[in-house]
Structure 1
Amino acid sequence: MSMSTGGSSGGPMSEINVTPLVDVMLVLLIIFMITAPLMSHSVTITLPNANPKTKEDQLVTPPMDLAVKEDGSMFLNDHPATDAELRSQFLVNAQKVPQPELQIRADKGLEFKVVKKIIADAKESGMVHVGFMTTAERKE
């Protein structure tokens, strides 16, 4: 069997194999056909508009600021507080309407079990709104 030397000299093939391309395109087509109907919402609702100056803003009580240092010492609104004082303040503030938010500022090196105990005490006292204060990263 002899090979013809008419035009092929063993160089690079100039044809593109389109079979993998067709396979990928068919899979994408099937995915889009399945997900396209799911993207339209069949239930339309009217969402409320936010008004930043409402009467509710006037009723908001100032938040309780709790700072906890790494050694476990606590400061409620910048005044030193013990566990018993903290629990009594939680009980008093839990009865207020609207209830103030407890904002916890814990030291970075503080063990989480201390924060967990504070949250458990607040929950047992009836506090609902608890937030954590952090600092933004500095971009230098």
Structure 2
Amino acid sequence: MAMSGGRDDGSPMMEMNTTPLIDVLLVLLIMFIITIPIQTHAVKIDLPANSDQKNPPPVEPDKNQLSIDARGVVLWNGSPIDLVTLRQYLDRTKVMTPEPELHIQPDPQARYEVVDRVLAVVKRSGVTKMGFVGNEQYAVFGK
């Protein structure tokens, strides 16, 4: 017979043909390699956003007004700032002679949590001349 498929002695072939199996596995391996996302070695850095105002509100030599509005926005001499900038301004006032007064005026509707965070920053800065302004708005009349 010309196509016996076995050995020379005419017995059937007992080994499995692994060539198609290897071909399928190689195709699957290539497909998995293609679908894996490319690894980037980038470092993500949060850069500060550009500010609309060119000159930040200066630290006044005699007194500075720190207020907190009802929405929880911290204002330094009328300009909104964050807590990090507040700490920088307070550190700047500490080195001035004489040290300027800090007038704190929270809105009656401001959340206590925001006022507490602001007061913690003021306390950590070591400001010695500080006072609350506008306490009459908290007075309860008629009692």
Q: TM-score, normalised by structure 2?
A: 0.49
Rg larger for: 2
Q: TM-score, normalised by structure 1?
A: 0.50
